[in-house]
Every structure is written in structure tokens, then in C-alpha cells.
Structure 1
Amino acid sequence: MYQSRAKLRTRTGCLRCRQRRKKCDETQPRCANCTRINLICKWPSGNEPHDGRRGKRCQKNGSDDSIQSPLCLSIVKQPSSPIMPAPFNKEEYCYLYHQFISTILPRLVRKSSIDQTYMLCLAPDYPPLMGAMISVAGMQIAPRPTWSVDCAIQSYLYTIAWLQKSIMVKKSTENDDSLLATVILLSVFEACRLDMAPNVAPHTTASGYLLSQRQSQLSKRFTTTSTAIFDLICIESFIYHASLMMLFEPDLDILSSIRQRLDIPLYFSHAKERDIALPVQPILQTSYKFFLLIADATKLARISRHLIDAERILWFHYWRELSEWNQVDHADDKSIELYYVALQILLLKKAPDMSQQEQTLRLSECLQRGLKMFGSLAPELYAPSYLLWPLAILGSISIFEEERKVTNSHINSLIQSRRGGQALWVQKRLERVWDVTKFRESYSISDMRLHGLQLLLDAS
């Protein structure tokens, strides 16, 4: 039942007080009632009805339109909130924060195996982290109304400006969890934004630098489960972005420069020593070593000239390592098999002493196998952009019309499911590659496929 206007105690004041039928003292930005019971004030705009009926109609209809305008958000039932730090103490930001907690975070970190509360507790006291959370949510919620994208961009710019000021102060960052979580989420935001090409490299490089400063503190931090799990989330998120986004950003090569300083195995050995239960990894689909191989293979495949002797030795080492991964049972996650196929393609590009005929046959087999595999996967089970990595590689070596149609249909499935992050951008990039690599009788199939892959790796 909806309350009639006659039963309302006032038609003025904040929307919270009107909903609760309380007399409002009309103190802005936060009235006394909302301050007392820790609610966020929502004030009517100039074109909003004074009796709040517009909001009630939004609630009554129960349609998706009810969240298309931030004016209606005061009616959407939300769980209890922390006091949102300025400038995020507005209803639309609060709504996006709750979307991050309930919908976005479980996609980024496996809900079944990880306690996520530690990072959430940091946000109310550190506005840049709150801004990073809101920016990720605003870019990923479905449906994606214009106002949420605007909030995402504004929050992102606010966070960047804050971090720039912090750098000027030259504050010690050796053990700053809030700063590290913020930079990690900025990488997530860049990987899923739709308005421009990804710019993950600066944030991923910064997160790698911050992680490299924490090595002396690791043993102390692993005395509590919450900080240990937080550090594992951060190191795995860094490896995820630093390895996969190399394909799309040629300048991103932070792993090779700081891998030794990070001492990645320590994160996992400390967890075992402290009996910290980790049924599954928080971010990565399989061992971090597989993702380090992805980074190594991507860097080697980017070389356009013939390999020198030292690089040939590396190629054979990577090929043996990849063959060992093929012997591991991944029946519980078929995406690893898809990644295996994409890695094969990368290494086949620089295969020493392989005949063109064999190279052509192997590339074609990998392409057909990979495209078939992709159709059996459920995009909603994976983090944003995760499936784009192997799909981009498969698409780059597609030279026949039927192959490209299948690739495009898979990209469209990611776009429609809103799980593809930069799917639209990758689609456009592949179209540019395809414009150059249309099949011609005067060129060999192998040369055309490898030329498309080189164009992708060069970000052409």
C-alpha cells in the first residue's frame, strides 16, 4: 500500500524524511534526522515533484527504468551503509557502492573462497579507494544507464587527482593497503571501460612497484588471515593484468623488470606455512606460473625478426613448459584449454626450424579447436576481459570469412552478456587487422595468419 499525501507530515525537506514521514529541519547537505540515524540525505532537484510521487511510481512499476535515473535511487532498498566520505555522500554513489559489493566484487574475487571484508573496511576512511570501487561499478552494472557511466568517470578522475597529490607529498607507501587496493581497482576499471582504448599500463606498473616494496613485511602480514588473503588478491590481480594486457598494450612489460624483486612464490608458501585455507585461488584460474608463461610467450612472439640464439633457447624452454601444462587435468575449467591453444599460436609464430607447411597446418588446427572450445564456455563465470585474450589471438589469425564470422559471434556474445570489458574495442581492433589480412592467392595462408597476429601484437 502507498501512503497518501494527506498522511505525510511534510512536503518539504529531504527525501529520506518524506519517506519516513518525519519532520525535517532542512539542514543541507545532511539534516539532523539523517545524521542521527546515519542515513544519506537526498534532496529534490528543481524538476522533482515536492511530494515524491515520481519516486513512488518508479518503485511501483518495478521495471528496469527504476534505476535509470539517480532521482529514483532513494526508493531502491539498500543494505545498511557506512558513512560515505565526501564527495561520494550522494544517493547515486551509495547505490553504485552497494552494487560493487553485491554484484561486481563476487565477479572479481571468488566469493566462495575469500573473505572480502578487509578491503571493504578500508574504503570509508580512504576516499580514493571508495572512488575506485564506484568507478568500477558504474562502468559494469547492467543495464548501464548514462548517469552511472558519468559517475564512474567522475569517480575515476577524482581518484587520479587524489593520487597525484599524494605523490607530490611523497608519503611512504611501504605498507599502505588502501593505496595498493586503489591502484589495483584502477587497473580493473581501465580493463572494463568502454569509452576509450585501455590504459592499464600505468596502474599495473604502479601496483607492481607497490608490491615490490612490501617484501620485507610479508612474514608479518601473514600472521592474520585477512591481511594474508588481501595480499594474495593483490598479487594475483597484478599478475592477471600484467600478463594478459601485454597483448593489447605493447608498452606494458612490468613483470620482466620486477619479477625477481616480487618473489611471488613467497605469497603462496607463507599461506601454507600459516595454515591459511585457500580452497581455490582468489583471482587466477590456475597457477600463477601459467600466467607468467603467458607474459614470456607474448614478449617473445612480439619480435618480428628472426630469433637470435639466446631467444631460440628461450623458445624451446617455453614450448617444453607449455607441453607440461597440457598434461595437467583441467576438466573443471575448460578455459585453461582455450588458453593453452592460444599460447600454442603465440609460440608457433616464432617456431624455429618448422616448415611452412607444418606451421600452416598447426595454426589452422589451433584456430578451429579454439573457436569450437569458446562456444562451450559460459562468459558469466569469468572476470571481465578474461576471455578476450584468447579470442583476440584466434581472431587475429582468422583470414577466411567463415572464421571471422564465428569470431565476431563470440565477441558479440561477450558484448551482450556485458562480461567482455573491452569487447567492443577488441572487435574494432580486429576489424582493422582483417582489413589488411584479407585472403589473397598470392600470399601463403601461414604468412597471412602470422601477419595478422603481428599486427595485433604491434597494436596496429
Structure 2
Amino acid sequence: MTKAKLRTKIGCLTCRKRKLKCDESRPCCLNCTFSRRLCVWPTPAELYDRRNRRRSEDGVPKSATGGDNDVNDVQNSSNLLQPGDCYNLDSTWLIVSSPQPRTSISSECDNSLLCYYTDSFLSVILLPTTKPSDYDSFRSYTLMLALECQSVKHAVMSSSAANKYMLTGEDHFRRLSLEHYAQAVKEVNHALANIDYSRESWADPLLISVAYLYIHAFWGPDADKDAAKHVLGMQQLFKLRYTGNTSPVCVDRPFDRIMVESALYHSFLLAMRNPFALDFHIDSFFLSKTLDLLEFEVYVDPAESAKSPVIGAPPSIYRLTLEISRMFNSGSLDDAEEFTRIRSTMDYWEQLLDSEASIFRDSEFGDAVELYILAASLLLDWISELPHGAGPITLTALSMLGRSTTVALDGKPRHRWQVARALSVLRRPDTKHYWTWCFLSSWPLLVFGYAVEDVESMDLVKEVLNESRHCIGYAEMERIERELEGVWKIRLQENCHREFLPDAMSLQGQKIYALT
């Protein structure tokens, strides 16, 4: 007689009773989340496959194991989900304790957007390296908050609709995105005006709402100018959590880790758009606390950052890159001790590029991490070549002064090693697919877009930006491409002028010689 085996695809009892396909998400499947039903899973005894067993081997009457009786109980009039029932969350994390939903997903359009968020968009704004347990926990909790809180619902839907527009070009989604965005901003402002910081439940709905407001700004076509104010707002919310006692940051909790990383990453993106002529300043207290939290409590082993849900690289790389910016902007570039310290740290990471370090070997996005190191190294070289006492300088001016080429021993121009290596990374066919399907490459592509001087290299950077833009619908890639197009136009005109000048000088010399 065949030995009984555990069934691998079982679904929850609630879906089986309702004759729906269960997506197997634990602790609460999507069907139960949307319908606000209690998600009941089979007991271990019910997981055995009894098809090849004698009836007497079951040993326990059906009524004793619960079976369909449990599902009947679920279908009673009291089956609406109590907040936290299926999420195993501490009740103090919730907004309200009422079982009645404060918001509703009633229209087919709303339901479609929320399904798109759970099925597609969330998997794009979180890296594929996210631990499955962290991913499921964050998704379930976000869905619950969307069902409980108007600001969360509208913020999630605004960013999802914006991404749908970027991928499809349908104006319908653009209008939906703007409508939900305006409503989300209104709800967040109302929440801030009436917030009770003494309650332990104040933080989560505000954090997730503000996060999706700046995600809408980065991923959508309309609200880029609003990104800075939303990210600054996120920094202030975390400062309150770092200094207060009612809602402390818990790094063991997936929601907190993802929110912390998201706040850091988007602060970094804004600051590094103009790293040496800052128009966006990261709060120093927020930055110090966040980097310390991630570097010394979450990713003690830098290789563990390969499983990061958002930043995708060791926090120490972000720290180093931001320190390069701070060193220049604070006027401490002439401080020999400070420069030596940063140069030594950069040497460490540059040496890792040629090693078998697990940070590159174990991660799908090792190439993206390599680009971050190369971009930071190039920026450090550029500012170290500036005259003493140099003031704020744009990336355009810096790249024009620094150039992407150096003169080799044979007297011929050569790409700086960082640029040459970055271009080779962009040409790798085996791993190119992975990081064009994630958002991590946006900042290094900006830096190397400023660095390249020849048409072939410009076309390569443009191709990668376009591929990523069309694969994941990331509007930031489109913004970067527009910025670089202006820089490349200036650079090509400059190159033409350089080529014309020697020819003109040579022709003038020939005329002078002929006259003599």
C-alpha cells in the first residue's frame, strides 16, 4: 500500500469551501484578504493524501478532524476578518480595532488596481532578492492597511495606476493616478493635522502612505517635483520614531526594514542627482541613525545585503558615496586626514571588484553593486582633480572638466578605468537581463551618462535606460535620459569644435606657407 504523503498544494479551507483558487499566500491568502474573511488552513492531520489508504487507516472520524465543519463556521455571519486575526500582528500596530472596514474596494476599477499592485507592481518596487517570508508579510500587511485606511488605499492605487500608464500609455490610467494621488495627499494632510503621537498605532499608516506618494513621484510621469517634499516628510516621520517611545523602529519586523531602506534609498537618489551642488539635503540625524541601524544591526555581514528588499547593496557603500558628497560640500576636501580616510575606504571596495567576494557572486544584482562602486570611485577622482577651494559644481561642469578619458603611456587617449569597466558591465549579455528589470541601475547610469563622450557609448547608456524604462515602467529612467540628452548634445558639439579647430589651424598654416 502506498505510503501517505503530505500534499504540497492544498489552499486554505475558506477558498476550498467557496470553490475559489487559492494563491497559497500565508498567513492570509489574497481571496480572504479582499473579502475580509477568516483565512483557515488545514491542520497537519488533514494534509495527508488519503486516496491510496484504506478507510480504516484514517483512524479519526471526519467530524473529529473538523473538515468541512470548520469551513461552515467560517461562513457564518460573523466571518468578517477582525484586524490582525490572520496576520498574527500585535494589535498596537493597527489603526483601529473595529472589525468594520473604514474604506472599501467596491468598484471593479479599484479592485483591478489593487490586484495589479499585489500581482505585479509590488514585485517591481521590491527587489526579487527579498526573502519570500518578508515579501508575503509586507504584502499582507499593506493590503490590510489599504482596507483600513483611506490614505493608504489612495496612495497605493495612485502609484499602481501611474506604473500602468508608463507601461501602457493609456490616458485612463494617468487620470486615475492623479485622482488617487490628490485624494491621498488630502488624506495624509488630514491625518497629520489630527495625529495622536501618544498612540502606538500612529506610524504605520502614515509611513506607507507617504512612501507610496514618493513612489508615485519617482515612477509616474506627473509628480517628480513633489518627490523631495514627500521624502523629507518620510525622514521627519522616522526621526519621530527614532526619538520617541510610542512607535520605535523594530528591525526584526519586515515592514520596518522595508520602510527604512525605502526612505534611505530615495533620499540617496535625490541627493545624488546633484551631489556637488546640492539642492536636496538629507537630514543628518536621520541619515546617521538609519545607516547605523542597517549597517550594524541588519546587515552586519555585507554579503547579507544581497537579500536586501530595496537598497540592494551594503549600507557602507551608500555611506561612502554620501561621505564623498559631504566632504566636498562641507569644504573639507582640503582636509588631508578626511580625504585619506575616504580614499582608503574606496580602495577597499575597488579591490573587492577583482576578488571573488560573495557580494558579487551571490547576488543577481552584483553587476548593479559593481556600478555603484565604480560611479562613486569616478566621482571621487573627479573632485580630487579640482583646484583647491572649488565651490559648488554641477555634474555637467564636473564631467566637462574631469573628462572620461586619460592619456595613456603611448600618448593616446583612453577611457578612465571606471568608465571602461562600467561600459563592459553594461555590455555583459549574461546578467544584463537581471538588472535592467530592477530600479537599482538608475543612479550609476546617470553618472556614467555624464562621463561618456563618444556616440557609441552614449547609445549604449541610452539603450539600457530605454530597456529598463520599458521593462518596469520606471519614469526615473525617462527623466535621466532627458537630462543626459541635453548633456550629450553639448558634448557632441564640443567634440565637433575640437575636430574642426585643428583642421582650420592646419589649413591656415598651409595658406601662410603658400604665401611665403
Flag whether TM exceeds 0.5 (same fold): yes
Does residue 107 of structure 1 match 2:131? no
Does residue 390 of structure 1 match 2:390? no
Query: What is the identity, as a one-letter code, of the residue corresponding to 1:360?
Result: T
| Structure 1: 5+ residue stretches without partners | 1-36, 40-79, 445-460
* Structure-2 separation of matches of 1:182 and 1:201: 15
Match for residue 447 of structure 1? Answer: none
Cα offset, 1:106, TM superposition = 2.1
Name which one, 1 or 2, has greater alpha-carbon Rg.
2
Contact conserved, 2:264 with 2:290, CA < 8 A, in 1?
Answer: no
Contact conserved, 1:207 with 1:238, CA < 8 A, in 2?
Answer: yes
Say if 1:317 and 1:359 are closer, same or farther in 2 by CA, change over 3 A. Answer: farther
Query: What is the identity, as a one-letter code, of the residue corresponding to 1:428?
Result: R
* Structure-2 separation of matches of 1:389 and 1:371: 15
Structure 1 range deviating more: 425-434 or 327-336: 327-336
Match for residue 430 of structure 1? Answer: 484
Contact conserved, 1:411 with 1:423, CA < 8 A, in 2?
Answer: yes
Query: Of residues 192, 198, 203 in structure 1, which corresponds to 2:230?
Result: 203
Query: Of residues 182, 186, 193 in structure 2, which corresponds to 1:157?
Result: 182
Does residue 246 of structure 1 match 2:258? no
Match for residue 360 of structure 1? Answer: 406
Say if 1:422 and 1:189 are closer, same or farther in 2 by CA, change over 3 A. Answer: same
Contact conserved, 2:404 with 2:453, CA < 8 A, in 1?
Answer: no
Say if 1:382 and 1:398 are closer, same or farther in 2 by CA, change over 3 A. Answer: closer
Query: Of residues 272, 275, 284 in structure 2, which corresponds to 1:256?
Result: 284
Say if 1:356 and 1:437 are closer, same or farther in 2 by CA, change over 3 A. Answer: closer
Work out the percentage of aligned pairs sharing the same amino acid.
17
Say if 1:84 and 1:319 are closer, same or farther in 2 by CA, change over 3 A. Answer: farther
Contact conserved, 1:240 with 1:284, CA < 8 A, in 2?
Answer: yes
CA RMSD of aligned residues (A): 3.8
Does residue 351 of structure 1 match 2:384? yes
Cα offset, 1:353, TM superposition = 8.2
Cα offset, 1:394, TM superposition = 0.7
Deviations 1:12-65, CA, capped at 9 Å, x for gaps: xxxxxxxxxxxxxxxxxxxxxxxxx969xxxxxxxxxxxxxxxxxxxxxxxxxx
Counterpart secondary structure, 1:360: strand
Cα offset, 1:135, TM superposition = 1.4
* Structure-1 separation of matches of 2:230 and 2:172: 25
Structure 1 range deviating more: 165-174 or 410-419: 165-174
Contact conserved, 1:243 with 1:255, CA < 8 A, in 2?
Answer: no
Counterpart secondary structure, 2:461: helix
* Structure-2 separation of matches of 1:397 and 1:222: 40
Cα offset, 1:243, TM superposition = 1.0
Contact conserved, 1:392 with 1:430, CA < 8 A, in 2?
Answer: yes
Contact conserved, 2:241 with 2:248, CA < 8 A, in 1?
Answer: no
Does residue 318 of structure 1 match 2:342? yes
| Structure 2: 5+ residue stretches without partners | 1-33, 37-79, 84-99, 388-400, 408-413, 500-516
Cα offset, 1:167, TM superposition = 3.1
* Structure-1 separation of matches of 2:114 and 2:259: 20
* Structure-1 separation of matches of 2:305 and 2:371: 25
Structure 1 range deviating more: 387-396 or 346-355: 346-355
Query: What is the identity, as a one-letter code, of the residue corresponding to 1:178?
Result: P
Say if 1:218 and 1:188 are closer, same or farther in 2 by CA, change over 3 A. Answer: farther
Contact conserved, 1:129 with 1:182, CA < 8 A, in 2?
Answer: yes
Structure 1 range deviating more: 262-271 or 135-144: 262-271
Match for residue 186 of structure 1? Answer: 213
Say if 1:369 and 1:279 are closer, same or farther in 2 by CA, change over 3 A. Answer: closer
Query: What is the identity, as a one-letter code, of the residue corresponding to 1:394?
Result: F
Counterpart secondary structure, 2:440: coil
Say if 1:279 and 1:244 are closer, same or farther in 2 by CA, change over 3 A. Answer: closer
Does residue 176 of structure 1 match 2:222? no
Structure 1 range deviating more: 313-322 or 153-162: 313-322
Deviations 1:344-400, CA, capped at 9 Å, x for gaps: 111111115899899735863322221221233445557754211111111112222
* 1:46-195 matches, cutoff 5 A: 86=103, 89-109=106-126, 110=130, 112-114=132-134, 115-116=137-138, 117-141=140-164, 142-169=167-194, 171-172=196-197, 175-195=202-222
* Structure-1 separation of matches of 2:435 and 2:496: 41
Match for residue 373 of structure 1? Answer: 425
* Structure-2 separation of matches of 1:357 and 1:202: 34
* Structure-2 separation of matches of 1:234 and 1:383: 21
* Structure-2 separation of matches of 1:223 and 1:302: 33
Counterpart secondary structure, 1:214: helix
Instruction: Normalising by structure 1, report the TM-score.
Output: 0.67
Say if 1:402 and 1:181 are closer, same or farther in 2 by CA, change over 3 A. Answer: same
Contact conserved, 1:301 with 1:347, CA < 8 A, in 2?
Answer: no
Query: What is the identity, as a one-letter code, of the residue corresponding to 2:426?
Result: F
* Structure-1 separation of matches of 2:449 and 2:351: 26
Cα offset, 1:257, TM superposition = 5.0
Counterpart secondary structure, 2:384: coil
* Structure-1 separation of matches of 2:481 and 2:329: 20
* Structure-1 separation of matches of 2:181 and 2:484: 28
Contact conserved, 2:158 with 2:181, CA < 8 A, in 1?
Answer: yes
Query: What is the identity, as a one-letter code, of the residue corresponding to 1:246?
Result: A
Contact conserved, 2:131 with 2:307, CA < 8 A, in 1?
Answer: no
Q: How many residues align?
A: 359
* Structure-2 separation of matches of 1:151 and 1:357: 44
Counterpart secondary structure, 1:253: coil
